[in-house]
Amino acid sequence: MSGTKKVAENMLWGGRFTQGLDPLMEQYNCSLPYDRLFYAQDIAGSIAFARANATTGILTPEEFSTIEKGLLQVKEEWANNSFVVQQNDEDIHTANERRLSEIVGKEIGGKLHTGRSRNEQIATDMRLWLRDELKKIEGWLGELVKCAVQRAEAEIDVLMPGYTHLQKAQPVRWSHWLLSHATAFSFELERLREVIKRVNRSPLGCGALAGNPFKIDRVAMAKELGFDGLLYNSMNAVADRDFVFETLQWGSSFMLKISRWAEDLIIYSSLEFGFVRLADAYSTGSSLMPQKKNADSLELLRGKSGRAFGHMAGLYCTIKGLPTTYNKDLQESVEPLIDHIKTLGDSIQIATGVLSTLTINEEKMLAALAPEMLATEFADYLVRKGVPFREGHHISGRVVALAESEGVPMDKLSLEQLKGIDARLGDDILECLNYERAVELKAATGGTSKSAVREQIEVLGKMLQGKYE
């Protein structure tokens, strides 16, 4: 028992306890295997805290200098993988303080934690780490949108079927499809920038729940750590995980969109469609059927969206019934967040790789266009002659019905047959049977004409620069 008793005594909370932990409980309680990821943030927060304590006289200038040098040595040990984890290092905070005291001595090292709680430390560490990770994701997401915009600009002449209910609906530009998803991603980029602002608020200096008793300068610490502002209620600051919720909500929303994008490309890359072909770098083969080229990258993107949703749902269930303020249940916010961020970052980069390297088959896209997709053009033609749209729609429907009864495409009906349906279908009605014309008529803002597509490209370009319409 003496060995386990020593373990409890050496922990930051050990003075209260006279018996050691059950070995399984010790392992169950330990978060160092994953929160060690925050070592740099934890040390940055400790240096800022020590500096603030030196300002108030808790530490002498010499003691602060010693602590700062010691912490920087600890950081270097983590960075070069020479840090030796001990049995009682239950979390990154404990490990760093234990090692600091070994380097500078317990008399000075023991002063670091004056007025501070691990409750505020983990909240600070998570926010610092998450802020930087979300900024990386912001950059990657911007590259994905930029890739779609560049392809839309370069391939603006390519036409393809547009679908509703997965049925051929109207002809559109391939660029219009690209920009439909780029627009959805741009909305997520806008939301992400707002999330980052709310993540970047400092809880440091709030203590365990009631605040700091040594008149610590929270504003100075926040500025040193690059926070945009403070959390102003100490109870809220240590218990709040809204910044994790909002990140998981945002990530789930984005992954939903990337999943739908992937689904489209899975369909378009199938042999039945053949609109696009994925690069070998983002495909795999079959262990049985040598002819297969599977869109595994896209299927994984679609599948990992469920993983992202699970992170969000799981944390909601964990936290929904917790009393104020900090409870150990909140430790369960760390692992889902770490995995969520990795899933998001990897997914965005894979999506950009897929989009930047896939090739399109213009001939297949054009061949997939069907004359029946131009039926609405007949109705619009009649509207321009003063016919009410509902009546024009009925007449164009009769044209489709005639083609079906004759067993021919709409463009194979003779002018006489068309006029037999309605005399207002004049000699120029055959002009409606032109895909390019149909696409170019959709010139209002948001449409699929070249001018409308170029307008979308311009708007998305401004959005990437942080300028919103």
Rounded Cα distance between 111 and 350, Å, is 47
> Which amino acid is residue 305, in one-letter code?
S
pLDDT above 90 covers a percentage of the chain that reads: 86
List, for residues 246-302, the tens digit of each pLDDT value: 999 999 999 999 999 999 999 999 999 999 999 999 997 655 555 567 899 999 999
Helix, strand or coil, per DSSP, at residue 264: helix
Which residues 6+ apart lie within 8 Å of 351 measured at CB? 144, 258, 261, 262, 301
SS3 content of the chain, % helix, strand, coil (to 5): 65, 5, 30
Rounded Cα distance between 113 and 97, Å, is 8
Beta-sheet strands, E only, within 218-273 = 229-230
Q: Outline which parts of the chain fall under CATH 1.10.40.30.
A: 371-433
Q: Outline which parts of the chain fall under CATH 1.20.200.10.
A: 118-367
- Average pLDDT for residues 39-52, to the nearest whole number? 98
- H-assigned helices in 80-117: 92-104, 106-109
Rounded Cα distance between 395 and 417, Å, is 13
- Picking from 169, 154, 166, 160, the residue whose alpha carbon sits closest to that of residue 436 is 160
| pLDDT-derived band at 229, boundaries 50, 70, 90 | very high
Rounded Cα distance between 264 and 184, Å, is 14
Measured CA angle at 316 (ends 345, 254), to 5 deg: 30
Rounded Cα distance between 48 and 224, Å, is 7
User: Residue 142's pLDDT is what?
Assistant: 97
Within a 10 A sphere around the Cβ of 407, how many other Cβ atoms? 7
Rounded Cα distance between 421 and 116, Å, is 85
User: Residue 464's pLDDT is what?
Assistant: 92
Q: Tell me the DSSP string of 231-272.
A: ---HHHHHH--HHHHHHHHHHHHHHHHHHHHHHHHHHHTSTT
Q: In the Cβ-directed half-sphere of 331, how many Cα atoms lie within 13 Å?
A: 15
User: Residue 4's pLDDT is what?
Assistant: 41
Q: Outline which parts of the chain fall under CATH 1.10.275.10.
A: 31-109
Question: Which CATH topology does 118-367 take?
Answer: Fumarase C; Chain A, domain 2 (1.20.200)
Q: Tell me the DSSP string of 309-363.
A: HHHHHHHHHHHTTPPSS--GGGGGGHHHHHHHHHHHHHHHHHHHHHHHH-EE-HH
Domain 371-433 -> CATH class: mainly alpha
Which residues 6+ apart lie within 8 Å of 295 measured at CB? 265, 266, 269, 278, 282, 283
Rounded Cα distance between 51 and 192, Å, is 32
Q: How far apart are the first and last CA of the chain?
A: 68
Catalytic residues: 165, 286
Rounded Cα distance between 467 and 469, Å, is 7
Within a 10 A sphere around the Cβ of 408, how many other Cβ atoms? 14
Question: Which CATH topology does 31-109 take?
Answer: Fumarase C; Chain B, domain 1 (1.10.275)
Which residues 6+ apart lie within 8 Å of 288 measured at CB? none
**Cis preceding-peptide flag for 325 (omega within 30 of 0):** yes
Q: Which residue is it, tokens 């709680």?
A: 117
List, for residues 202-226, the tens digit of each pLDDT value: 999 999 999 999 999 999 999 999 9
pLDDT above 70 covers a percentage of the chain that reads: 94
Average pLDDT, the chain: 93
